[in-house]
Chains A and B, each alone.
Chain A
Amino acid sequence: QKEVEQNSGPLSVPEGAIASLNCTYSDRGSQSFFWYRQYSGKSPELIMSIYSNGDKEDGRFTAQLNKASQYVSLLIRDSQPSDSATYLCAVDGGGGFKTIFGAGTRLFVKA
């Protein structure tokens, strides 16, 4: 059973701080990794994708991938109250387009 594990949270950080979200996955054959943000009552939206080891930065967001440790993380710098949402880690299931989602981490950014 291929799995993606995330701490459900809630993770609470003060405004302006760095929020660190973590994810581990079980399938060593996975090649594509994604972070989606889901606001309450809304559908998920893609915020980051990463395919190779190392860091990938996009504005205030940095995705980090370590395939040896089967670990993906998302850093949000200068966190804002508008970043409060559930963040879903997603991993491709290998050999196709079936994406496996983690249960999500709820983030609260306190003003």
Chain B
Amino acid sequence: GAVVSQHPSRVICKSGTSVKIECRSLDFQATTMFWYRQFPKQSLMLMATSNEGSKATYEQGVEKDKFLINHASLTLSTLTVTSAHPEDSSFYICSATGGSTGELFFGEGSRLTVL
């Protein structure tokens, strides 16, 4: 299957700082990328959908000014958690779809810990 790479895999930061997470499709062009958050023992929660070259569509309850998403190219989307707080500590996962089948290919995930 297609390969999606996510970086960094783990990040620890101080409260109030910003953290950027990158999601790259390595062998295909991802027209649409998705960002999820997952708390321990809970299911995936879709945060936003990003399409290359346009503004991301955020799910209800997700603050767009706090979670900045940029999808500047067909192979790269970034999620920036601004002014992070301990409650933002979570597992953030990106996924991408490049075709019409609906299959999603996930990045490895980024575990964020905010101290």
Contact = CB atoms under 8 A, between A and B. Distances in A.
B47 interface: no
Q: Which of A49, A88, A97 has its CB near the most chain B CB atoms (within 10 A)?
A: A97
A111 B2 CA distance: 33
Is chain A's binding surface mostly helix, strand, loop or mixed? loop
Contacts of B108: 42-43
Interface in A86-101: 88, 90, 92, 97-99, 101
B93 A97 contact: no
A92 B102 contact: yes
A43 B102 contact: no
Interface residues of B, number: 22
Contacts of A34: 102-104
Interface in A42-64: 42-46, 49, 51
Contacts of B32: 97
B43 A104 contact: yes
A36 B106 CA distance: 10
Interface of A: 31-32, 34, 36, 41-46, 49, 51, 88, 90, 92, 97-99, 101-104
Interface of B: 1, 6, 32, 34, 42-44, 46, 49, 91, 93, 97, 101-109, 111
24 contacts: A31-B102, A41-B91, A41-B111, A42-B108, A43-B6, A43-B93, A43-B107, A43-B109, A44-B106, A46-B1, A46-B103, A46-B105, A49-B101, A49-B103, A51-B101, A88-B43, A88-B44, A97-B49, A97-B97, A97-B102, A99-B34, A99-B104, A101-B46, A103-B43
